[in-house]
Amino acid sequence: DHASSLCATSPVLRGGQAAYGRGVSMIYRIGKTIRWEASHRLEGLSEGHPCGRMHGHSYEAEIVLTSESLDDTGFVLDYGVLGAIRNKLDHQHLNDIMPGNPTAERLAVFIATLVNDALFKMGYDTEGVRVESVLVKETASSWAMVSF
């Protein structure tokens, strides 16, 4: 039997799922990078602060999801679901579409909420597929991340 000849740490397909021997569980992790253009204006800054004026960024976000199982297709989630989040953000004025001051930190939480809403609408429960982290870059050298 080929399966029994594999060492205990070799992956074996059981019922369409890869499983390691001796009860070791696996966590699948996927990520999607999205890019979009948006404007915002931050309030509460000192007079003359450049971010207090309306301005824009070429944003980039990395969304990471985890799951202990795969769907019938063999996905954690179709990447297209994550790509669709971009359409809700692209060429928007962030002050108009999200609560609070639209900082990169709050934008990361907002994106995680958009993903969770999409998962809920598709019938995924929060115990299955879940958002692990969202990293938002406003510039090539400035970013904020939220992890769950």
Q: Given its phi and psi angles, is residue 39 left (phi above 0), alpha (psi -120 to 50 degrees) or beta? A: beta
Of 7, 91, 93, 132, which one is the catalytic site residue? 91
Candidate list 40, 49, 51, 127, residue with the active-site label = 51
- The CA–CA distances, whole Å, from 80 to 53, 63, 113, 116 equal 34, 12, 17, 15
Give the count of beta carbons closer than 10 Å to the beta carbon of residue 51.
14
Annotated catalytic residue 49: no
Active site residue 138: yes
- Residue 89 CA: distances (Å) to CA of 36, 119, 132: 7, 18, 20
Yes or no: say if 131 and 112 are a contact pair by the CB < 8 Å rule: yes
How big is the chain, counted in residues? 148
Q: Which of 115, 140, 137 is nearest to 126 (CA)?
A: 115
Active site residue 7: no
- Which residue has tokens 């800054």? 45
- Catalytic positions, written as ranges: 51, 91, 138
